[in-house]
Structure 1
Amino acid sequence: MQNQATEKLSPFKTPTQEQSELINDAKDFIYAHLHDATPAVFVITGDAGTGKSVVLSQLFYQIQQATHDNTSDMANTSNYFMVNHPELLKVYRHIAGELPGLLKKNFQRPTSLINQMNKHHETFDVGIIDESHLLLSQPDHYNNYYGHNQLLSLLKLCHVLVIVFDAHQVLRLKTYWTQDRLKKLLAPYTQHWVHLNHQFRMQADDSLISWINHFTGDRILLPLQKSFRHHYDFRIFSDAEEMRQAIVSQNKRFGLARIVSTTGYPSTLDGGQHFITEGRFKLPWDQYNYTSTPWAEIPQTINEVGSIYTCQGFDLNYVGLILGPVVKLSSDGQKVEIDTSKITDVESFKHRTDMADPQEILNAKIQLNLNAINVLMKRGVKGLYLFAHDPALRTRLYSEYQIINH
C-alpha cells in the first residue's frame, strides 16, 4: 500500500480542472521555448496546501513519457526534477522507482545537479523545481555550492525551468527570497506566472485559514470563531502534555498525527538529543533521518517533536503545534510578536554579506519565523491543535477557545 506522501504526489492522482489546465499551460510553454536561444521560466505561485507539488509531479511524468515518443517535441530530451528538501526528495525517488519511464537519477538536489553538469560540461533541456523558495541565494560551501545563486546557476544550464514559488515558505537567510527579488532576477528572461488559489490540504473553514494568515501575516489576532470547528478539529490547549496525549490518540485512529514546534528551545546539530520541556511535557527534537522513509511516516517519531525541516511539504492528518518562546502576545494584547532574541535555530539566521542593514536583517528574521509558523499551522488535513509557551498568549487563546465551545 502506498504511503500518504507518495499517494498525494502520484502522477496517477486525478487532478482538478484547475490543475489540469495548469499542467497543459506549462507543457505548451515548454514546447514553445524548448529551442529558444535564452532560457524561459514558468512560475507557479500559491500558498501552502494549494496543490503546487501535485501539478509538478504530474507535469514531469507526462513530459518524461513524451521523451520516449519519437513524434513528440520532447523526444530524447534530457530533463530533471529538483527539490532542495531531502525528505521530499525521498518521496519523489520512491515514486520514480515504482513507475515506468521515471528514473531515480532524474530526481536531484539542485547543488548535486549543478556540480554534476559543470564537472562534465553538460547541459539539460527542462528543469522542474519544487519548493524553489528553498534554492540557495548565496554561496554555501558546507553544502558544496560555490556559485552565488542556484537559480542563476541552473538558468545557465538549461532551456526551460518550471518552478514553484511561495514567499511565505522561505525559512532561512541563505535561501532568502521575496517575490520582488525573484522578479528582478528573472527580468532578462522570457517568463509566465500563474497562481493557484484553492486550499486542498486543510479540510477547514475559510475563516480559520484567514485567522492563520493574519496570525502569520500582519500578526493581528482575530477572534476565535465557532466556525473554526466546522468539518475540522481545531483545539487550543493550556497543557502541552494534554495536547500530546490527544495527538497520540488521533495517531492511533488515523495515523500521521505528530507534535511539531517552532524554534526557541535547545537545538544544536551535534548528534545528541535536545529536549523540549513544557511542564509535564518532555520530548526530544526530531533526529536526523538516515532512512528512505519520510520522518512523519516512521512510527517511532510519534515520540519526537518535528521541526519545520522535517514537515515542510508534507501532509499530516493531525498536527499539534507548540508555539515556542519566540512567539509572544504584544503588550496591548492585540497582536503576535516575534522575540528574535529567543531564536535557537542559529543555522537559519547566519549573517549574509549582502544584507548589511540591521533593520533589514531584523525584519527578515521576523518574517522567516512567521513563515515557519504559517507552514506548521497548515500541515494538518483533519486537525490543528495549538499550545503557546508564552503565558499571556496561552491565556488569551485558551480563554477564547473555552468561550466558543460553551
Structure 2
Amino acid sequence: MKIYELIKEKRENKGLTQENVAQVLNVTRQAVQNWEKNKRAIPNELLAEYFNLLELNAHEILSVFDFLESNNLIMTAIDYSSDGIIKFEKNERNTILSNYPTLYLGVGQKLNQYSGQTKQLVYVGEASSIVRRTMEHLRSSDDKLNAIKSDSDGEKEKLYIIGHTKFNKSATLELEQMFMNYLLGDKKFEKIYNGRNNGLSIDFYGREAYRTGIFPEIWERLYKQKVVSSIRDIRNSALFANSPFKSLSRQQEQAKNEIGLVIAETLVNGANNKVIKIQGLAGSGKTVLMSQLFYDIWRNPYPVLNDDLKTQHTSKTVLLVRHEQQRRTYEQIAKKLNMGSDVVMDVPRFINEGKMVDVLLVDEAHLLWSGNYGRVNKNQWKPDLIALHELARTLVVVYDPKQVISARSKVENNVDLFNLLNGLDTKTVYLDDQWRIQANQETQKWIKDLAHFEKNSLVTIPDDEAYDIKFFDEAKAFKEAIKIKNQDDGLSRIVATYDWQYSQKSRPKDGKYWTVNFGTEVMPWNLELSEVQEAQKKQIPWQEINESIGEVGSDFTVQGIDLNYVGVILGPSIIWNEKSNSLDINADFSYDHLKIRKENGNYNTIENKAFLKNVVNILLTRGVHGTYIYAVNNELRQKLQSLNK
C-alpha cells in the first residue's frame, strides 16, 4: 500500500478528520488533503509525529518505504576474539553480514561490588566491512572494545553484529547514534565506551523507516535475548531524557553552533569572563542543549591561550546545577560516559574550592542565590553568579525568568547581577520551540496562558487528540487516574504547590510523615517514604523511584524533569480571580516561607505572588502527554470543572 493510501485509511479508521490531523501537526487542512491525494510529499520532519498520531506499527512503516520486499534483518553474536571473527568470516562469506554495512555492539559483563549486581559494559559502532573493522579493533593497543574485554569478568566479551540489505552509511550512522542514546538510559549498562558523538545525520531517504521501523526491531531482538531493557523503561529514564545523544532541532543546533563560536573565539584570544545565556521557557529544550554542549566540549576541548599569550592548554569544563535531583542525573551521565570525577559539581562546593576553569556550564541558573542568607563566612560570600563569573573564562548559563521561585534568586535589586545576565556584553541565545508538551499549538498556548496567569485563560480545553487535560472534582478519582497512567505509561506522578507544612529537620507531632491533605485523600510529601530515601542514597532520581508514586512531589523534586502525565494539586493558595478569569495567588495560605517574605504582616505582596506563580508554572509544564488538575479551593475547583469537555 502506498503511503498516501495508508495515511488516509488509518486516519479514517481512527475517526479523525483532516482538520484533527492538521491541528496536531500544526499545518493547514489543505496540506493534509494534498498528502492524502499524493499531490505533495510529507515533510521528513513531520513523519515521526504523523506516524505516531495514526499509530502506524513497524510493519506498516517499513512497507511504505518498500522495506518488506527485502526484510532481511540479520543478527548474530560471536566471541570478540581473533578466533571468533575468523570463524565468522568463514561462516558468513558472501552473506548480508559480510556484503553490506553493519552495526555492531561489543558487550561485556562486570559484577558491581557495591550493589552486588552484574552490569554490562558496551561499545557500539558501525562498519562497511565488519571483518576488517574487528581486526583493526583487535590489533589496536588503545581500543575501546579491548578495554571492555579487559574490564569484564573473565575477560569475556560478545560482539553482536547486525546487518540488513537496506543498510548504507547514513543508516548505520543514524542507528549507531540512536543506540548510544538508548544505551545511556538503559539501567542494564554501567558504562558506554564510545569516544565520539556522531551527531544524528541529516535527512536521507527512508530515514524514518530506520528510526521507527528498523531500530525498534533490532532493539526488540536484543531485548528478547535479555541484552537490553525495554524501550518503554528506557524512555522513562532521566538519563534518556537528558541524553547528549539526542537529535537537536534546527533552532537548538543553531544555538549550539553560535555558543561554540563564542567560546572558541574567547578562549583562543585569551579573553576571560565571557557570559553566554541560554534563555527559554519550560520545555524548550534548554537542558538537552546543555547536556550536548557539556559532552561535546569535554570530548573535544578547545585550545586556550595561556596568560603568557604564547603557550596554550586544552580547555577544562565543569557543569554545575543548584538542584539536587538534576545534578544527580548529570553525575550519572558523566559516570556512565567515563567523563571522570569533578566534572559535575554543586555550586557551593565549586565556589569554595575557588579553582578557575575555562568553560563553566550552569544549568537552572535561575536557582542561583543572589545573597548570603545566613551561610558560613557570610562577609566573604558573594552572590553565586558573581562568584562563578570570576572563576570562569567562559560562563554559559541556562536561565528562565519564569522559573525564578525565590527571593533568594532575585537579581533585579543588584545592578552587577542584573548586568551579568542582561548586559550588552552578554551573548543571549533564545529557545522558544516547545519540545516537552506533545500537543498542538492551540493546546500549548492554552497551557502557557494558564501557567502564566494570563487574563481570560480559564476557558474551555481545546480539542487535541494528542494531549490529555482533565479537571477533577473528586480527589480520589484524581489520585487513581494518575496511578493508572503510571501503570499504563510509566513516569506519572502527583505534585503540589507548597501549601502544607513540611520540614526536613523535624517530624510532625501527630504523625509519621509530613503530608498533603486534599479532599478525602492524604499522601506523604516527597522524600518522606523510607523506600524513597534509600533509593535517593543510590542517586536514583525521585520520579524514577517506584514508591514515589505514593508521594506528592514539589518544585524541589520535579523542576527541570519530564513526566508522561502530571497530576497537579493546586493548594489553598491558588484561587480563581473572577475579574480576570484566571488563576490567582493568596500567599497567606502558602507554607513556602523560604521563597516568600512577610512585609508589614502580609505575605500577599506583588513579589511573593510572582514567585509563587512561577512555582505553578513549573508544576503545570511537566506533562509530556497530559496534565490532570485537582484544586483544593472550592470556587476554583467548580470553575475548572466547567472547562472540561
TM-score by length of structure 1 reads 0.89
Q: How does 1:111-260 map to 2 (within 5 A)?
A: 111-117=348-354, 122-142=355-375, 146-177=380-411, 183-186=418-421, 190-260=425-495
- How far apart are 1:190 and its partner, in Å? 2.9
Q: Structure 1 residues 191, 294: closer, same or farther in 2, change over 3 A? A: same
Q: SS of 1:345's equivalent?
A: coil
CA contact (8 A) 1:66 1:74 kept: no
Q: Which runs of 5+ in 2 are unaligned?
A: 1-185, 188-233, 306-310, 508-512
Q: Structure 1 residues 197, 359: closer, same or farther in 2, change over 3 A? A: farther
Q: Structure 1 residues 225, 332: closer, same or farther in 2, change over 3 A? A: closer
Residue identity matched to 2:429: V
Q: How does 1:297-312 map to 2 (within 5 A)?
A: 297-312=544-559
Deviation by residue 1:74-125 (Cα, 9 ceiling, x = unmatched):
953222101000000000000011114x2241101111101011xxxx3111
Structure 2 distance, partners of 1:234, 1:361, is: 30
- How far apart are 1:188 and its partner, in Å? 6.7
Q: Which runs of 5+ in 1 are unaligned?
A: none
TM-score by length of structure 2 reads 0.57
- 1:346 aligns with 593
- 1:280 aligns with 520
Between the two structures, name the one with larger relative contact order (CA 8 Å, sep ≥ 6). 1
Structure 2 distance, partners of 1:188, 1:223, is: 37
- How far apart are 1:12 and its partner, in Å? 1.4
Structure 2 distance, partners of 1:70, 1:189, is: 24
CA contact (8 A) 1:40 1:189 kept: no
- How far apart are 1:349 and its partner, in Å? 2.0
Residue identity matched to 2:280: G
- 2:343 aligns with 106
Deviation by residue 1:338-363 (Cα, 9 ceiling, x = unmatched):
10111112222257xxxx89999811
- 1:78 aligns with 316
CA contact (8 A) 2:304 2:313 kept: yes
Structure 2 distance, partners of 1:325, 1:187, is: 36
CA contact (8 A) 2:446 2:462 kept: no
Residue identity matched to 2:277: V
- How far apart are 1:378 and its partner, in Å? 0.6
Q: SS of 1:348's equivalent?
A: coil
Structure 1 distance, partners of 2:550, 2:328, is: 22
- 1:9 aligns with 242
Structure 2 distance, partners of 1:245, 1:318, is: 13
* 1:65 maps to which of 299, 316, 329: 299
Residue identity matched to 2:616: I
- How far apart are 1:227 and its partner, in Å? 2.6
* 1:24 maps to which of 257, 261, 270: 257
- 1:262 aligns with 497
- 2:326 aligns with 88
CA contact (8 A) 1:241 1:280 kept: yes
- 1:378 aligns with 621
Q: Structure 1 residues 75, 244: closer, same or farther in 2, change over 3 A? A: farther
Q: Structure 1 residues 126, 222: closer, same or farther in 2, change over 3 A? A: same
> Which deviates more, 227-236 or 173-182?
173-182
The CA RMSD measured in Å over matched residues stands at 2.7
- How far apart are 1:369 and its partner, in Å? 0.8
Q: SS of 2:260's equivalent?
A: helix
Residue identity matched to 2:320: M
Structure 1 distance, partners of 2:371, 2:550, is: 36
Deviation by residue 1:23-53 (Cα, 9 ceiling, x = unmatched):
1111111011124444111111000000001
- How far apart are 1:224 and its partner, in Å? 3.4
CA contact (8 A) 2:242 2:288 kept: yes
- How far apart are 1:284 and its partner, in Å? 1.0
- 2:140 aligns with none
> Which deviates more, 226-235 or 237-246?
226-235
CA contact (8 A) 2:302 2:315 kept: no
Residue identity matched to 1:5: A
Structure 2 distance, partners of 1:99, 1:350, is: 43
Residue identity matched to 1:283: M
- 2:606 aligns with 363
CA contact (8 A) 1:63 1:74 kept: no
Structure 2 distance, partners of 1:64, 1:357, is: 51
Q: SS of 2:462's equivalent?
A: helix
CA contact (8 A) 1:221 1:336 kept: no
Q: Structure 1 residues 277, 46: closer, same or farther in 2, change over 3 A? A: same
CA contact (8 A) 2:573 2:585 kept: yes
Structure 2 distance, partners of 1:218, 1:302, is: 28
Q: Structure 1 residues 188, 208: closer, same or farther in 2, change over 3 A? A: closer
Structure 1 distance, partners of 2:292, 2:515, is: 40
- How far apart are 1:394 and its partner, in Å? 0.6
Structure 2 distance, partners of 1:301, 1:383, is: 19
- Residue 394 in structure 1 maps to residue 645 in structure 2: no
Residue identity matched to 2:405: L
Find the structure with the greater CA-based Rg: 2
- How far apart are 1:248 and its partner, in Å? 0.3
Q: Structure 1 residues 300, 173: closer, same or farther in 2, change over 3 A? A: same
CA contact (8 A) 1:125 1:158 kept: yes
Structure 1 distance, partners of 2:312, 2:296, is: 10
Structure 2 distance, partners of 1:104, 1:391, is: 51
Between the two proteins, the alignment pairs up a number of residues equal to 392
Structure 2 distance, partners of 1:335, 1:70, is: 52
Structure 1 distance, partners of 2:486, 2:285, is: 24
